[in-house]
Structure 1
Amino acid sequence: MAGLVEMRDPYTAGHQVRVADLAVAIAKQMGLPEEQVHAIHLAGTVHDLGKIKIPAEILSKPGKITDLEFGLIKVHPQAGYDILKGINFPWPIALMVLQHHERFDGSGYPQGLKGEAILLEARILGVADMVEAMSSHRPYRPGLGIEIALAEITKQRGIYFDPQVVDACLALFCEQHYSFRI
C-alpha cells in the first residue's frame, strides 16, 4: 500500500518506511510493549495512504502551495482513515493514521484533538513524520538536515508534540546515534 503513494509522489519515496522505522525506534526507546511497537510500524508504513486522493500535481509542486492546495492536502489523514477503517486490524491503525497530524495543543488536523485525546501511537508518528519530512528533500525545498529538525521538535515540545515522545526521539539521535536508512 505504501508504494501506491510513492508511485504518485516520487519526492516522498521511502518517506513512509523511514517514518515507520523512526516511530518504532521511538516506541522502543519509550519502553512500549512489542505488540504496540508492531502496530506503530504498520501504521507508519501507511500513514500517508490518503495522499492517493490528492492530485499528483499538488504533491510534486515545486513552489509554494496555495491555501486551497493546503486544504486539499489536509484531507489526507481522513482519506487514509476512510480507506483503512473497514480493514480488521488487531490495533486501531485507521485511527492512528487519522490522528497523525493532530498536535498536542489542539492546533492540528483533522479533528483538533488535544493532549491525551490523541492516541500515543499517533503522537509518536507525528514526531517521526515531522523529523523525517524536515530532514528530507521536498519538491519546494532542499532537506533542512537532522539538526534543524531536532531543534524544531525541541522548540515545539509540549506545544505541538508530546514531551515524552520528543525526549525519546532526542535521546535516539543524541545518545543512541540513530540515523535514517538510505
Structure 2
Amino acid sequence: MKSHVFLYQLINSISSILAVNDDYTAHHQNNVAVISRMIAQELGLSAFEVEGIRIAAQIHDIGKSAIPNELLTKSGKLNTEEFALIKTHASRAEEVLVGIDFPWPVLDMVLQHHERMDGSGYPKGLVGEQICLGARILAVADLADSMINPRPYRGALGLQAVLEELNTYSQLYDTEVCNTFRKIVSDGGSRLFAAIEIVS
C-alpha cells in the first residue's frame, strides 16, 4: 500500500512540473487522463489496465518540460523548425521516465501517443498493433481534448470537429477506440463534458 501511495505522490509531482510554467498542458493532461479512463473502461479493460492508462495519460506530455516555454505558449503559428522541436516531446519523455519502475508499460504509452495506425506518426513511425493499446487510447483522448478546448494558438473547435476528424482521418486512429469514443459521446457529449474541465 505504501508503494502505491509513493507512486501517486510521484505522479502528482511529475504532473506539477509542467503546471508551473504551462497551465494549459496541466489542464490538458488531466482531461486526457479522464477521457482515456472512460474509453478504457468502456472497452472492458481490467481495473489494473485502466489505472495504468490513466497514469500514462496524466503524464503523457511530460517531455514538454524540455521544450522552451515560449514555444508551448506561442499564440501564432509555429514555423517548421519550431514544430520539429515540439515534436521531440514524445521522445524527450524517456529522459524523465526511464528510471521509474512502473507496474504498467507507462513509458511505452507516453512514447507512442503520437504514433499513428498508418505509420505516419512519430517518433518511430510504428504501424497498427506495433502501437500499444494504451497509446492508441491516448491518441484519441489527446485529440479530443485538444479540439474541444482552446489551445494557445486558436479557439476551441468543439466535439463535432473531433468526430469529423476521426471520420476524415480514420486511417490514423484505432477503429475500436474511435467507435468506443463515439459511444461515450452518443448523448451529445453530456457525459464527457460533465467529467472534464472546459477552459473558458
TM-score range, shorter chain: over 0.9
Match of 2:157 among 141, 144, 161: 144
Gaps of at least 5 residues in structure 1 are none
Q: What's the CA shift for 1:11? A: 2.9
Gaps of at least 5 residues in structure 2 are 1-13
Paired with 1:44 and 1:10, the residues of 2 have a C-alpha distance of: 16
TM-score between the two structures when normalised by the length of structure 2 = 0.87
Match of 2:183 among 147, 171, 179: 171
Give the match for residue 66 of structure 1: 79
Larger fraction in helix:
2
TM-superposition CA deviations, 1:17-57 (whole Å, max 9, x none): 10010001001111111111010010000000000000000
Runs of 4+ in 1 over 3 A off after TM superposition: none
Give the match for residue 161 of structure 1: 173
Q: Give the % identical residues.
A: 43
Give the match for residue 24 of structure 1: 37
Paired residues of 2:25 and 2:61 also in contact (CA < 8 A): no
Give the match for residue 129 of structure 1: 142
Q: What's the CA shift for 1:151? A: 1.5
The count of aligned residue pairs is 181
Please provide the CA RMSD for this pair. Answer: 1.2
SS of the residue aligned with 2:172?
A: coil
SS of the residue aligned with 1:14?
A: helix
Q: What's the CA shift for 1:6? A: 2.5
Paired with 1:10 and 1:105, the residues of 2 have a C-alpha distance of: 32
Paired with 1:64 and 1:58, the residues of 2 have a C-alpha distance of: 10
Report which of the two structures shows the higher radius of gyration computed on alpha carbons: 2
